[in-house]
Amino acid sequence: MIIAFFSSLFFLLYTFIGYPLLLQMVRKEQLAPSLQSNLLPDLTVVICIYNSANLLSQRIENILSSDYPKEKLNILIISDGSTDNPEKVINAISNPMIELFSYSQNKGKSYALAYAKTKITTPFVAFTDIRQSFDKIALKVLASSLITENIGAVSGNLKIISSQGNEEAGLYWRYEKAIRKKESDLKSLLGVTGAIYMAKTELLPNVPEDSLLDDMYIPLSIVKQGYLVKFCEQAVAYDSESNSLEEEFSRKVRTLAGNYQLMRQLPWLLSIRQNPLFIQFVSHKVARLVMPFSLIVLLVSSFFLPLPERAWLIALQLSFYGYALFGYIAPQLSTKLPLISTCISFCSLNLAALVAAWKYFTTKDITSLWKKH
């Protein structure tokens, strides 16, 4: 039990502190995109929607306001079983740069992306969602970075806006994005930000229709073809923070369950010989799935340690979980408590990993975990 305690403690420290610190030793890589319009290829921006007609006009207007050369820009909208008549919005805009394709049954984003692939005719394709907005230069910066021969995809920089209007809400998202930046500096990203990324069309894989994590399946498939996936900080998209902890928790469950699915879909990810990003994948993704079980072992094994260490280690762990629980059930009273949101995020992430494991291995229809567009 002593061995179990220290093994779990080491695993915890490595996953959340050691691995990020090791990444900080990697020298920062500077992408130096050329913004010359004559070098940019034709581009298609893909938006998959489901009952979002009320946001469609504003999203299209934002894309059209980009400084990407208008004669090279196309917008492809896939209506995934929408029932709110997006055709009316597109007809009102009446712009030849915009194409809308619809089908009657809602089949999820992965199906919509696979359908979109059959309609793309340009060398570059950018993907985004309906809720976000792009900075004016975002598309040009992404395309300029993607021109590099050995780069197959480029992820943009999603900034979360809080309800108070402040950028970068959420310490956990800043922490996660810092890891992604350094993984890009090291070699290549494991995944992209689904709200803003661009890829070379010829490298796009056929995404399985039931995929939960298209924003990892696509870039990892590109990496397997021998290309790199990079992070471009200058290409910015903006989004608002989740409306509730429950909404964010559901998203985490879907994402973490998607990691289990990804290892089944792409078994080479667990091969140190076949996966060029093996250490990154295990340290960043697999470790997050194992962590809640490690935390359980850490607590249980603490009861078998000698006194007085046993007492204060148990008290420390239970106090931490109690602190996070208080912050969750009494948010109005806990707003000024130090690091309370970080503690809640940590506990929420690990609880979501437990729920994700349970749902993935017990749910017959994995598509029930879909988050609609």
| pLDDT, mean over the chain | 90
Q: Is the per-residue pLDDT at 125 higher than 90?
A: yes
> What is the structure's pLDDT at 335?
73
The CA–CA distances, whole Å, from 275 to 18, 225, 290 equal 22, 11, 20
Phi-psi region of 130 (alpha: psi -120 to 50; beta: other; left: phi over 0): alpha
* CA 84 vs CA 51, 53, 58, 92, 116: distances in Å: 5, 6, 16, 15, 20
What tens digit of pLDDT does each residue of 168-211 get?
455 677 888 889 999 999 999 999 999 999 999 999 999 998 89
Ranges of each domain in the chain: 2-19+272-369, 37-241
Q: What is the pLDDT of residues 267-314, one digit of tens each?
A: 999 999 999 999 999 999 999 999 999 999 999 999 999 888 899 999
- Report, at the CATH architecture level, how domain 37-241 is classified: Alpha-Beta Complex (3.90)
309-329 vs 340-362: helix crossing angle, rounded to 10: 90
Q: What is the mean pLDDT of residues 21-26?
A: 91
Mean pLDDT over 77-94 rounds to 93
- Provide the token pair at 87: 């055709």
pLDDT digits (tens, 9 = 90+) for 127-180: 999 999 999 999 999 999 999 889 999 999 998 876 654 444 556 778 888 899
Structure tokens of 294? 């490690």
Q: 202: which residues sit within 8 A by CB, 6+ positions away?
A: 123
- Token pair 């998607």 in the structure block, residue: 258
Q: What is the mean pLDDT of residues 15-21?
A: 93
Residues 6+ away with beta carbon under 8 Å from 335? none
Long-range contacts of 183-186 (CB under 8 A, 24+ apart): 183/23, 183/231, 183/280, 183/284, 184/29, 184/155, 184/229, 184/230, 184/231, 185/23, 185/26, 185/27, 185/28, 185/29, 186/23, 186/26, 186/280
Among residues 156, 128, 113, 112, the alpha carbon closest in space to that of 63 is found at: 128
What are the pLDDT digits (tens) for 51-64?
999 999 999 999 99
**CA dist list (Å): 225 to 36, 163, 373:** 28, 41, 29
Average pLDDT over residues 83-100: 93
* Dist CA 218 CA 282 (whole Å): 18
Note the pLDDT of residue 331. 77
